[in-house]
A and B are shown apart, each in its own frame.
Chain A
Amino acid sequence: MATMLDYQTERATWCPGCGDFGVLNAMQKACVNLGLEPEQVVVVSGIGCSGKMSQHFGGYGLHSLHGRSIPTAQAVKLANKDLVVFAAGGDGDGFGIGMGHFIHAMRRNVDITYIVMDNHIYGLTTGQASPTSDVGSKTKTSPQGTVEQPILPLQLALAQNCGFVAQGFSGNVKQLVNLIEKAIQHKGFSFVNVFSPCVTFNKVNTYDFYKAHLVDLDQDPDYDPHDRVAALRRVAEANNLVTGLIYEDPDRPSFEESLPGYPDDAIVSRDWTLRQEDYDAILATFR
Chain B
Amino acid sequence: MIQDVGWKVGGKQGEGIDSTGEIYAIALHRMGYYVFTYRHFMSLIKGGHTNYKIRASNRQLRHHGDDLHVLVAFDQTTIDFNWNEMVDGGIVIYDASAFEAVKPSHRDVNLFGVPLTEIAKQAGNAIMKNMVAIGVSAAISKLDPEEFRPVVQDKFGKKGQAVVESNMEALLRGYAYFQEHYHVHFPLPDKPDLRDVDHLFASGNQATAFGALAGGCRFLAAYPITPATEIMYWVLEQFPKYGGVVVQAEDEIAAINMAIGANFAGVRGMTSTSGPGFSLMMEALGLAGMSETPVVIVDVQRSGPSTGLPTKTEQSDLSEAVNGTHGEIPRIVLTPRTVEECFLYTAEAFNLADRYQCPVIVMTDLYMGMSFQSVDGFPVHRVRQDRGKLISDEELAKLGRFAYQRYDASVPDGISPRALPGQKNARYVALGNEHNGVGLEVEDQETRVTQMRKRQRKLEGFRHESGVTVDGRQDAPYALIGFGSTYGVLEEAREVLESQGLPVKHIHFSRVWPFPADAFHDAMDGVRLALVTEQNATGQLKRLIREQAGYHDVLQSCLKYDGDPMSLKEIVHTAYQTFPMGVLN
Contacts and interface: CB of A to CB of B under 8 A. Distances in A.
Contact of A62 (B380, B420, B429, B441): B429
Interface in B336-391: 377-378, 380, 383, 385
Interface residues of B, number: 66
B254 A101 contact: yes
A39 B251 contact: no
B262 A75 contact: yes
Contacts of B526: none
Interface in B18-55: 30
Interface stretch (A53-61, A146-154, A169-177, A228-236): A53-61
Contacts of A58: 427
Interface string A256-287: 00011111000110101110001100110011
B176 interface: no
B440 interface: yes
Contact of A80 (B239, B255, B267): B267
A153 B96 CA distance: 63
B265 interface: yes
A55 B431 contact: yes
Contacts of B472: none
Chain B residues touching A, majority SS: mixed
A278 to B, nearest CB: 7
Contact of B422 (A40, A64, A279): A40
B257 interface: yes
B101 to A, nearest CB: 37
B265 A268 contact: yes
Contacts of B218: 267, 270, 272
B9 interface: no
Interface stretch (B184-192, B208-216, B461-469): B208-216
Interface in A177-203: none
A261 B216 contact: no
The bracket for how many chain A residues form the interface is: 35 or more
Nearest to B401: A6
Contacts of A70: 254
Interface string B264-285: 1111110000000000000110
B472 to A, nearest CB: 30
A42 B421 contact: yes
B501 interface: no
A78 B291 contact: no
B291 A104 contact: no
27 contacts: A39-B423, A42-B421, A44-B261, A58-B427, A61-B429, A62-B429, A63-B429, A65-B284, A68-B254, A70-B254, A71-B258, A71-B261, A72-B257, A72-B264, A74-B258, A75-B259, A75-B261, A75-B265, A76-B262, A79-B269, A83-B265, A83-B422, A262-B240, A267-B244, A267-B245, A272-B268, A283-B380
Interface of B: 30, 198-202, 206, 210, 213-214, 216-219, 221, 238-245, 247, 249-251, 253-255, 257-262, 264-269, 283-284, 287, 291, 377-378, 380, 383, 385, 420-424, 426-433, 440-441
Interface of A: 10, 37-40, 42, 44, 52, 54-55, 58-65, 68, 70-76, 78-80, 82-83, 100-101, 103-104, 108, 259-263, 267-268, 270, 272-274, 278-279, 282-283, 286-287
Given A62-B264, A83-B422, A261-B240, 8 more contacts: A39-B426, A40-B422, A68-B284, A78-B219, A80-B421, A103-B250, A261-B239, A273-B216
